[in-house]
Structure 1
Amino acid sequence: MKTSKNLFSVFILLLLFRCSSEKIANNTLFIAPSGNDNWSGKLAEPNNNETDGPFATFQKAQETIRELKKMGKLPADGVTVYVRGGNYSISKTIKFTTEDSGEENAPITWCSYNDEKPVFSGGVAISGFMKICDAEVLKRIEKTYHDSILVCDPARAGLKPKELTFHRRKPLAMELFFNDEAMTIARYPNEGWLKITDVPQFGTELIHKGDLPHTRFGIPVGRHYGRFTYESDRPERWHKTEDIWMHGYWSWDWSDIYNKIENIDAVKKEIYPAAPYSGYGYTKGQRFYFLNVLEELDSPGEYYINRKTGKLYFWPPENINEGEVTVSILEEPLLVLENTSYVNIEAITFECSRTTAVKIIGGNSNKIAGCVFRNLGNVAVIIDGGENNGIISCDIYGTASGGIHLTGGDRKTLTPANNYAENNHIYNFGRVFRTYSPAISMNGVGNRLSHNHIHDSPHAGVLFGGNEHILEFNEVHDIAKETGDVGAFYIGRNWTCRGNIIRYNYFHHLFGPGLHGVRAVYLDDFSSGTTIFGNVFYKAGRAAFIGGGRDNIIENNIFVECDPSIQVDARGLSWAKNYFNKSSKLHVSTLFDGMDAVNFSQPPYSEKYPELLTLYDDDPAMPKNNKIIRNVSFGGRFIDLYDKLNFEIVEVTDNLIGDPVLLRGSLESDQSDNFQIFQYGHVETMENMKGNKFLKENPGFEDIAKEKFQLNDKSPAYELGFKKIPVEKIGLYNDEYRTQMTRMTLIYTDKKINLNKNKEK
């Protein structure tokens, strides 16, 4: 009897195991480099007889799921496709459509298996490097480096390099990577810049008349006749000047352009750029460098590709036999989701496309989670429309352009999309296109950026436009390292982009070397209706900046050692008055065009933003209704007011101010040096600011030296109505995808990480 019971128990266990196995088999598919599309795809690895095992391709798994859906056999809780570790060479975009959608409670998930690391690559590994034997080539390279520089012929692998181009809307030219790091096209100087010494103001043809009313050295900015001069003897060493390029900030520190050279006169030290020219012309004193010069292949990590012969010359930074050399080949995205819904892409590495890695176009509730994006020719991810689509807990670095481009929602109807970018670590971006390549660009209505850690870039952190967005709990530092007149968060030039909230972010260590420096939050060119609430700014340049706009609120923020904490100008009354003078030849119609584009006098805008109805009759050039209230500012300069602004126009009340400098002001714009500085204790200034509270001592920060800026319970800020900022929630967080922190948690712990190390989960 006992034996029968035991046998019955075993039978039940076997039955349960079988049912469980069938459930797993029905819900699960596998893909592996060792797979075979003739197998069932239901096993994680080949069986002993190699008669069954995982699929080999995405396409086969895709076909299988489509067939399940057609037969009405999609499991109630969806399907998971496990992608085994290894390198998957992608030669053509993997495309999902409506047919590949899941359902709300039955998503289709494509993810890594356990802790394995599948890599989807648009690149090809190359080998066959050897010493250079071509005497003509050796003549062009300094003899000291002959043994260090190697050559290979990618044509042996069927690869033919195309012409060198730098176009933001086209695939980038083939790039070289060594051990997953981007190498550098041979350049001079190896680091830093040369300067334009002069731009001759005579010639046969005026190419660019200049950017009036802006002038430098008495000349309209950018005005040129097709040439400029430089100060260097280096080009005299170059045997050939064909296909030499320059990269520079030719007139403004917020605009970089790659320009091919038509001719170099090494005797006169004159450069003739090839058309198309820089759109902003060329200006004396601006910076540039040469690239794609074989003679300048003179340091580890540099390479040069002869586009005619196809030969690739490379100085590897390490023993080439102990590393992997990869070139980017794919000229299209690795993965596209078009009008899909409830599709998840998880824990996969995407690399070496010469354009974007992943595009989501339309659809609903698609999610990219826990992935790594690196070494790409454009942005990593594009989310274009749809609803509830997002990217969460991903690492993005080494992109030629930005990180994420996110849009969604209807601006005319103010319908929100609820798309999101959350808990992403985005750094070392803008590798090729240095300006307007933000970590995240966002447009539309009702989208969200939260808990992202953004750092180390030449230009902006976030560029956004549209309505009713939320930007919260992000940490941003060390951006704008190469540019000026830029913001960590930037929005500009539209009266109707309202209802945006920037709250609970930490901005720190922002230093822009270019003209006009860096702002943490930059409300540029009449941007209006934005709320900046509960943020922490530490050494954040011109921290909160209102550039002529109205109806903005700066409230309940902490500013420490900022220069200044807040700046407001009335540019519409000074250098930007051409926005409002419709009779002027220099009239800029952007603001009025933006109003017309959304039918501002009709619902929903007339109801949601009734202040727009009276804007034209209410001194539109004047920055009215801006409020600066209940902030804490310490250790820097509190506020700058320009263009005849005063405290009657800007409401400044209930702030706790511990800055040695209270005010810098000018009757002119911030582009003038004719300003006055008013120190703490200046009677008239303190009288004008009497609705605020002043102090000299620490306002109650936990520990300034350790950058712990939470205020203690005894801080006088609370008497003014200040609310505690949830600093403990700012930045990245651990979840099922991100199990190891990779952020600099300066305001929470004493531990700092090495930001130069690329970390994966």
Structure 2
Amino acid sequence: MATWRRSSSCRWALLAIVGSFLLSSSSLVSPACAADPLVITVDPQAVGTPPKRAVDRVRVASLPEALALRRRWRRVDSRQAISIALAPGVHRLSEPVRFAREDSGTAAIPLVVYGAADGSTRLVGSVPLVPAPDGIPRDLDATLLVDRGAKLRVYRLPAAVTGQRIQEPRTLARRDAPVHLALFDRAGALWPARWPNTGWARTASDVSVSSHNENKASFALADGRSARWRREPELWAEGYWRWNWLFETFPVAAVAPDHLTLEATPYEGIASGARFRIVHALSELDAPGEWWRDAGWGVVLLWPRDPSDAVEVAVTDTLLSVEGASHLRIQALTLEQAQGDLVRISDAADVVISGSRLRRSAGRALSIERSTASGLERSTVAETGIGGVRLSGGDRHSLIPAGLFVRDCRISDYAQSARTQSPAIMVDGVGQTVEGNYIHDTDEYAIHLRGNEHRVAWNEITRILSESTDSGAIYSGRDWSARGSVIEHNYLHDIRAAPGFEIKGIYLDDMASGITVRDNLFVRVDQPIFLGGGRDNRIIENLFVDSSPAIHVDARGRTWAQDAITDPQSELRAAYAAMPVGGKLWRERYPGLATILADDPAAARNSLTDNVFLNSEPFRFGDLARSSEQNLTRNIGPAGLRLAPLTRSDEQVASRKESVKRFENVLDATNALVRRRDYDRMERSILLKPFEDNRPGHP
């Protein structure tokens, strides 16, 4: 049995417990008196047989070995605190590390798995590629490699990633389709050879949609370039085939001189002039960073960005899989380079990742479902193929919250492959929190809300949606019953649509209802609050600067979206019917929801009060929405409003960039103060330290 060591404060706690005579003898070891943790160190260079008895320190070669050893020791003494420390350097995984129920800690003594305090511990789901000894396969068409052979490197692929196509089709119904071949160098993800190398090609303008045959769709090309692709064994095409809010990827079934045929039909077909590109074409392997896989030979041809860099291929679907465990802490790790989500948590409780970097994955950084009190904090998420983080938990029928969260994180450069419907944070269920994050610099949107009673607060969101349309930085829609969420104290700025596109700030789409949008700051945002036919939304105390129209309200259920309300089989009506809206709890929580169909369900009735408009058009009503149906009171501006000059003490802060301090005080034409706010906490780009300065020390 291991020796237990207690501090002097622990001895005092024991004396107090004994003196009280209120607790049984089984309670004498209180949470305050837990023994100092034993530490199992994971070092890939470790050799030898771990001891059978618990000792202060022991070294093993892998994280699965450490977990197995901890389980064995805890069968001897379940009260002993045991932590796992990963040594600095690279820890390679050939399969996911699985945390099961038996790996749980307790509320007082969670299991802590942590890396080096300097952040140098990397948990990696990839292996280095080895050069193919025979070089470029002899049976490749030499004409496809003219003037390029000397620039290419050829690597042998491990058996784990051969024998299947490079990815699965990505569609509206299958947004999270897996990738089977993911390559990385020191700079990040590499990509299949494509045409064009940058930007997009267009389907021929004189053809709207070509023939459909056995669910295969064809489209015309504007030139004869397709002749280059006729002998390609695994050709793909991806694009925005009909709508610029939907990106889909399909194998090419046939190549003809003037058109291509896809293996399946995109959602609602192919439009004239649709944006697309060709993917995984040997004939287009002509730029640094591109690769092409020869399935027959089991090799990959690569044009390296830096010939001296090692090239790695992901061999694990995920790195960490937590199923049924509770009270787990993962700290100070760099988690990277997997085929799917880096971390998956399900049926768990109180599992927290903090002070870590999650990056370079073909899937998401983190997915949590059917869990409680778990999440990500003080971490960095970047370079993911789909979105950033998915939170799903709680019970909507009983409105029991899950308490999942993403807090104080920096999230950028996500949705590299799934370019639509892939937000930084996807929220579903009941009672999740998205707070204090900095989300920036990507083509996709930031937050998607589904379900009830979520809180989105103190986030800074900027420079997103650069190639999107009909999308919003924060999005919710198509469910009357998804109510009770609060979006407050967020700072949205510099979110502008590309030419020919249109985007929004907070987009409550397709009858989204019962959401509170309070005390947010919008600076240079297109259509900052957009209410698409919903009701019972409260838009209060927001400040709009150079953002027009500030608040859009429409009643689309009276016009083009009427079928969504009248058709019992519509998505909106199905979502409504799935919830117990007539039950006592729901009637108390959401008055009027149970009788919405007997009321005027197409009416947009919202409260728009106490908002301030600075150089911004206040309201726009469309699709038969009536201003008389809204509560419009105590809104101010834009006439006569201006920002108060910065004080001398503010100048140094404001000089670092355009600080939020500029917007804290608004004056009217008489120099009277009409609005005062302390916005410092909103500026997450300043308050959140980069990962390198934000790592926790040893627990």
Partner residue, 1:540: 525
Choose from 222, 231, 251 the match for 2:222: 231
Partners of 1:200 and 1:134 in 2: how far apart? 39
Report the CA distance between 1:57 and its aligned residue: 1.7
Matched residue type, 1:227: S
Matched residue type, 1:186: A
Choose from 186, 197, 204 the match for 2:193: 186
Matched residue type, 1:246: A
Matched residue type, 1:114: A
Do 1:196 and 1:228's aligned partners in 2 also have CA atoms closer than 8 Å? Answer: yes
The residue correspondences of 1:227-306 to structure 2 (distance < 5 A) are: 227-238=218-229, 240-266=231-257, 269-274=258-263, 276-306=264-294
Q: Secondary structure at the match of 2:41?
A: strand
Note the alpha carbon deviations across 1:602-634, whole angstroms, 9 max, x for none: 12101111121332222110101x122222222
Partner residue, 1:57: 62
Do 2:454 and 2:486's aligned partners in 1 also have CA atoms closer than 8 Å? Answer: yes
Partner residue, 1:375: 360
Q: Summarize the Cα distance change of 1:354–1:571 in structure 2 as closer, same or farther, 3 Å threshold.
A: same
Matched residue type, 1:441: M
Q: Summarize the Cα distance change of 1:125–1:601 in structure 2 as closer, same or farther, 3 Å threshold.
A: same
Note the alpha carbon deviations across 1:20-67, whole angstroms, 9 max, x for none: xxx99852221111113514599999xxxxxx9511122222123223
Matched residue type, 2:168: F
Partner residue, 1:652: 632
Do 1:88 and 1:118's aligned partners in 2 also have CA atoms closer than 8 Å? Answer: yes
Partner residue, 1:162: 164
Matched residue type, 1:312: V
Q: Summarize the Cα distance change of 1:418–1:706 in structure 2 as closer, same or farther, 3 Å threshold.
A: same
1:559 aligns with 2:544: yes
Note the alpha carbon deviations across 1:569-616, whole angstroms, 9 max, x for none: 11011110112334xxxx752222222211101121011111213322
1:439 aligns with 2:424: yes
Do 1:30 and 1:42's aligned partners in 2 also have CA atoms closer than 8 Å? Answer: no
Partner residue, 1:727: 680
Which structure is richer in relative contact order (CA contacts within 8 A, separation 6 or more)? 2
Q: Secondary structure at the match of 1:491?
A: strand
Q: Summarize the Cα distance change of 1:565–1:40 in structure 2 as closer, same or farther, 3 Å threshold.
A: farther
Do 2:642 and 2:667's aligned partners in 1 also have CA atoms closer than 8 Å? Answer: no
Matched residue type, 2:73: L
Matched residue type, 1:162: Q
Report the CA distance between 1:645 and its aligned residue: 2.6
Matched residue type, 2:517: I
Partner residue, 2:182: 175
Q: Summarize the Cα distance change of 1:696–1:501 in structure 2 as closer, same or farther, 3 Å threshold.
A: closer
Report the CA distance between 1:733 and its aligned residue: 7.7
Q: TM-score scaled by structure 2? A: 0.86
Q: What is the number of equivalent residue pairs in this alignment?
A: 652
Choose from 107, 125, 128 the match for 1:125: 128
Do 1:700 and 1:712's aligned partners in 2 also have CA atoms closer than 8 Å? Answer: no
Partners of 2:136 and 2:45 in 1: how far apart? 40
Partners of 2:667 and 2:68 in 1: how far apart? 64
Do 2:380 and 2:691's aligned partners in 1 also have CA atoms closer than 8 Å? Answer: no
Q: Summarize the Cα distance change of 1:182–1:711 in structure 2 as closer, same or farther, 3 Å threshold.
A: closer
Choose from 198, 204, 212 the match for 1:197: 204
Q: TM-score scaled by structure 1? A: 0.79
Report the CA distance between 1:424 and its aligned residue: 1.4
Do 1:349 and 1:373's aligned partners in 2 also have CA atoms closer than 8 Å? Answer: yes
Partners of 1:639 and 1:300 in 2: how far apart? 49
Partner residue, 1:487: 472
Partners of 1:39 and 1:506 in 2: how far apart? 52
Q: Secondary structure at the match of 2:476?
A: strand
Matched residue type, 1:399: T
Q: Summarize the Cα distance change of 1:528–1:136 in structure 2 as closer, same or farther, 3 Å threshold.
A: same
Do 2:439 and 2:462's aligned partners in 1 also have CA atoms closer than 8 Å? Answer: yes
The residue correspondences of 1:271-420 to structure 2 (distance < 5 A) are: 271-274=260-263, 276-318=264-306, 320=307, 322-330=308-316, 332-420=317-405
Do 1:41 and 1:53's aligned partners in 2 also have CA atoms closer than 8 Å? Answer: no
Matched residue type, 1:695: G
Report the CA distance between 1:207 and its aligned residue: 6.7
1:708 aligns with 2:660: yes
Report the CA distance between 1:698 and its aligned residue: 4.0
Partners of 2:131 and 2:231 in 1: how far apart? 27
Do 2:533 and 2:602's aligned partners in 1 also have CA atoms closer than 8 Å? Answer: yes
Greater CA deviation, 510-519 or 454-463? Answer: 510-519
% same residue: 25
The residue correspondences of 1:504-515 to structure 2 (distance < 5 A) are: 504-513=489-498
Partner residue, 2:47: 36
The residue correspondences of 1:97-136 to structure 2 (distance < 5 A) are: 97-128=100-131
Choose from 668, 693, 699 the match for 1:740: 693
Partner residue, 2:21: none
Partners of 2:481 and 2:251 in 1: how far apart? 40
Q: Summarize the Cα distance change of 1:288–1:94 in structure 2 as closer, same or farther, 3 Å threshold.
A: same
Greater CA deviation, 172-181 or 431-440? Answer: 172-181
Partners of 1:261 and 1:317 in 2: how far apart? 28
Q: Summarize the Cα distance change of 1:736–1:242 in structure 2 as closer, same or farther, 3 Å threshold.
A: closer
Partners of 1:106 and 1:402 in 2: how far apart? 33
Report the CA distance between 1:311 and its aligned residue: 2.3
Report the CA distance between 1:656 and its aligned residue: 2.3
Q: Secondary structure at the match of 2:373?
A: coil
Partners of 1:732 and 1:407 in 2: how far apart? 27
Matched residue type, 2:291: Y
Report the CA distance between 1:308 and its aligned residue: 2.1
1:595 aligns with 2:548: no
Matched residue type, 2:282: L
Report the CA distance between 1:510 and its aligned residue: 1.5
Report the CA distance between 1:153 and its aligned residue: 2.6
Q: Secondary structure at the match of 2:637?
A: strand
Partners of 1:313 and 1:581 in 2: how far apart? 55
Do 1:487 and 1:522's aligned partners in 2 also have CA atoms closer than 8 Å? Answer: yes
